[in-house]
Structure formats: structure tokens, C-alpha cells
Amino acid sequence: MTGRPTTSGRPAEAEGRVQITADVDRPDKILLGLTARQLAILAVPALGLWATYAATRHHLPLTLLAALGAPVVLGALGLALGRRDGLGLDRLLGFALAQARQPRRLVPAPEGVAPAPAWAGHDPSPPPAPLRLPVRAVGDDGTVDLGSHGTALVAEAQTVSFSLRTPAEQHALVGAFGRYLNSLAAPVQVVVRSQPVDLGTRVAALRAEAGGLPHPALEAAALAHAAFIEDLAASRDLLARRVLVVLRDPAGGPDAPARLRRRAADAAASLAAAGIGLQILDTTAATAALHGALDPWAPPRPPGLSPPDALVTGRPTTHAAVPARPGHPANAASAAGGADTVEIDEPGAAP
């Protein structure tokens, strides 16, 4: 549908369309293109310099006051106007001060860190502090227990080559994604992560399989491709982009996993119209995603390991069923315990 024509020759929908800025959280400009936070940062040193000038103008020359106040003015301008990675320098300074006051050693102890016993001696270094994370556990169905913050479900979304689409296809993709956003009634977080890629395993596999190819030209091509990948990994930092969609149920409770899975199914159906596939992560994949979020540069967790809270048990030891020798130390123990087998504790001992 193109809509009814207008006097300008364009559809009515096109004339009524309003472009919304991408940064909807941008603060309002109050005065001279500055926000209220920037004005407050500049007002404090300005008032301090004015008070200093009013109190010392009869005792100090103006040039000396200007020289003393220049570093203060430059620092205030840097805090108010400077930005790095989308954050103001004043916020980064606050984060740095908060980080400096935090303990350096954290241990996973939800119940608190118990003091060391007296026989262990006195350690002059500060004791470790408990590491408090919002994630309590990852269930068998892949749901993440957030404690008082509810329950979450992590899904991975496929990427779409937006720049390679035609303008009509791009408009359709944006419209489908916008309809999904307009249908949201609960918290959803879209996380776009970039993590390093290790090509060493791929290079080793190519070199190992090159010798088994049926033709020498194929072997040479495989070795050349392995050399190209190895040179590519050595010359630049390779990153892989991963898009995670996190659905959260603030209420939590035993019915939260079922509600989250229904929401994930609805999200998959809505995003499928935009060509985006959505796959729910299982327990292992969700744990790996959380591990990568906490330490992006750490190596991946080896597969097959037990969960951190699992009880690891071993098989019972099987002893050799041999009769006890007279006078052997194990004879009395076997007789007292009523056992008909003994453990051979001497190498090469015969019955």
C-alpha cells in the first residue's frame, strides 16, 4: 500500500513520518549547548574563583590570580566537556575513585568470608572480600537465577548483513525489528559482544589433514591456506561478533522458566520476519556466555567439566580378593571386621 496521494505528490504516510534521534537518552541542553550536569561542574569552580578574587583582589595582582586559576578552569572544562567511549570524564573519574576504594581480592563466598584460624598466623594484608554477582546459578534448562532480580534466559541471535541489502529490504528489516520492540512488555537486553578468535586449532587441523588429500595440488593449496590464516592471525587482532538476547522475568518463581520460554518463542517468531534466527542457549552454552562476559580474554572453558556446585565422586576401590596370611598385619584387622578380602600392601606379595 502506498497511501493516498497528497498535494506534494508523496504518500500521506511519508509526510507524517517523524525521524527520532538514535540516542533517546541524550540529556537536554540547558544553556549555551551545555547540559545541567555540565553547568553544575563549571559553576562550582567559577563560584570558587569569584570568591577568591573578591577576597584577595586588594592583596594580589590580577595576573597572579589568573595564573593560579587557569589550571582549575582547564580541569573543570576537561571534566565537563571531555568524553571517552561515550562517557563523560566526570563519570569516569567517579568510577575510578570507586574502583580505587574497592578491595583487590574477591572470592566467591555468598555467606561471607570467615576469619582465618589463630593457628594460621597473622596476615598483614587486607582479607579478601566476598564476590557478589547477580547470577546465583544456571539451571538444567538454561535459565539463569538472578536471586532477588528474578530469572533470565539467554538466547543467541544470528547476524544480518544489513549493508548488503537493497533500500527496500533494509526498510522491511527495520520495520520488522521495530514491531518487535513495540511489542515488548517485559525487560529485554540485546548484548553485542566482540571476543578474540583463536585460529591456532584451525591451522593445526589444516596442516594435519593436508597430507591425506588425494592430489598434491590440493595439499599445496591447504598448506598455503593454513599459512595465510597463520599470517592473518599474527598480523592483526581477529574478533568475532556475537549477539545475545537476554530475556528477564523480574518476578521469578517456579513458573518463570515457562514464561521466559514462551517469550523466547514469541521473540523468535517476530525476529524471523527480519531474517534473524534466535536459538536458546542450554546450560553449557549459557555458562560459557557468562564466563566470557566476566573475563572476555580468558581461554574458553574446556568441555566436559562438572558445574562448579556439582558433587564430584569417584568409583569405589576394588581390592584383590586373596586370603590373609597367618601373621600378616592385615589378618587381625580382617578377622575383627569380618571381612573375607584384604588389600595387598606389599609389592609382589603372594598369598
Per residue in 56-113, pLDDT tens? 888 888 888 888 888 888 888 888 888 887 778 888 888 889 888 888 888 877 777 8
Answer yes or no: is 10 within a domain. Answer: no
Average pLDDT for the chain: 77
Distances (CA, A) of 196 to 158, 202, 292: 18, 14, 10
Confidence of residue 21 (pLDDT cuts 50, 70, 90): low
Least confident of 235-244, 262-271, 327-336: 327-336
Domain identity same for 158 and 264: yes
Q: Per the domain annotation, does 86 fall within a domain?
A: yes
Same domain, 150 and 88: no
Specify whether 144 is located in the same domain as 97. Answer: no
Residue range of the domain that includes 92:
27-101
Claim: this prediction has a pTM higher than 0.75: no
How would residue 314 be classed by pLDDT, with cut points 50, 70 and 90?
low
At a CB cut-off of 8 Å and minimum separation 6, what does 204 contact? none
Residues 93 and 167 in one domain: no
Q: In which residue are the cell numbers 556466555 written?
A: 289
pLDDT, tens digit (0-9, with 9 covering 90-100), for 107-127: 877 777 877 778 877 777 777
Both 154 and 281 in a single domain? yes
Whether residue 61 lies inside any domain: the answer is yes
Task: Count how many domains the chain has.
Answer: 2
pLDDT of residue 155: 92
Sequence-distant (6+) residues with CB within 8 A of 253 are 151
Pair 166, 285 in one domain: yes
Segment (H or E) for 174: helix 167-182
**Backbone phi and psi for residue 130, each to the nearest 5 degrees, phi listed first:** -70, 140
Render pLDDT for 138-147 as a digit per residue (tens, 0 to 9).
888 888 888 8
pLDDT of residue 299: 66
131 close to 107: Cβ distance less than 8 angstroms: yes
What pLDDT shows up at residue 9?
A: 52
DSSP strands (E only) in the chain: 29-31, 34-35, 83-84, 87-88, 106-107, 129-130, 137-138, 143-145, 151-157, 188-196, 239-249, 278-280
